Amino acid sequence: MKTMICNGASSSQRVQMLAAQLDLPVLQVELHRYPDGESGVRIAGEVPPHAIVLADLALPDEKFLPLAFLLDNLRELGAKRITLVAPYLPYMRQDKRFRNGEAVTSRTFAKLLSPLCDRLVTVDPHLHRYHRLEEIYAAEGTVLTAACRVGEWARENVSAPILIGPDSESRQWVERAARHANLPFLVLEKLRHGDRDVQISLPGTFQPASHTPVLVDDIISSGHTMAETVRALIANGTAPPVCVGVHAVFAESAPDLLMKAGAARVVTTNTIPNELACIDVLPILAESLRDSHIR
Ligand code: R5P
276 CB-side CA count, 13 A: 20
Confidence (pLDDT) at 253: 93
Which pLDDT value is given to residue 190? 86
Strands 140-144 and 119-123: parallel
SS3 86: strand
Residue 39 has a CB neighbour count (10 Å cut-off) of 16
- Residues lining ligand 1, CB < 6 A? 93, 167, 169-170, 198, 217-225
DSSP state of 134: G
CA 109 from chain centre, in angstroms, equals 16
- Beta-carbon contacts of 283 under 8 Å, excluding residues fewer than 6 positions away, are 21
Give Cβ neighbours of residue 291 (< 8 Å, ≥ 6 apart).
none
What is the Å distance from ligand 1's center to 138 Cα?
A: 26
The model's pTM: 0.95
CA separation, residue 164 to residues 167, 179, 211 (Å)? 9, 13, 11
Please tell me the distance from the alpha carbon of residue 21 to that of residue 8, in angstroms, as a whole number. Answer: 18
Residues 6+ away with beta carbon under 8 Å from 148:
176, 177, 180, 181
Strands (E), 196-239: 197-201, 212-220
Of 187, 196, 219, best ligand 1 pocket probe by most atoms within 8 Å of the beta carbon:
219
> What is the per-residue pLDDT for 206?
74
What is the Cα–Cα distance from 85 to 51, expressed in whole angstroms? Answer: 10
Buried b (16+ CB within 10 A) or exposed e, 198-232: bebebeeeeeeeebbbbbbbbbbbbbbbbbbbbeb
Name the residue at shortest CA distance from atom 5 of ligand 1: 219
CA of residue 91 to ligand 1 center, whole Å: 12
Helix (H, G, I), strand (E, B) or coil at 42: strand
Ligand 1, residue 225: give the atom nearest the CA.
14
Is residue 175 within 8 Å of residue 198, measured between CB atoms? Answer: no
At 122 the three-state DSSP class reads strand
Q: What is the dihedral of CA 255, 91, 141, 22, to 10 degrees?
A: -40
Tell me what pLDDT residue 1 has.
Answer: 67
What are the helix (H) ranges across the chain? 12-22, 60-76, 105-113, 147-157, 171-181, 224-235, 254-261, 282-290
Please give the chain's pLDDT, 295 residues, in tens: 699 999 999 999 999 999 999 999 999 999 999 999 999 999 999 999 999 999 999 999 999 999 999 999 999 999 999 999 999 999 999 999 999 999 999 999 999 999 999 999 999 999 999 999 999 999 999 999 999 999 999 999 999 999 999 999 999 999 999 999 999 999 999 888 888 888 888 887 777 678 999 999 999 999 999 999 999 999 999 999 999 999 999 998 999 999 999 999 999 999 999 999 999 999 999 999 997 755 4
Cα 54 to ligand 1 centroid, rounded to whole Å: 24
Give the residue, by CA position, lying nearest to ligand 1 atom 7: 219
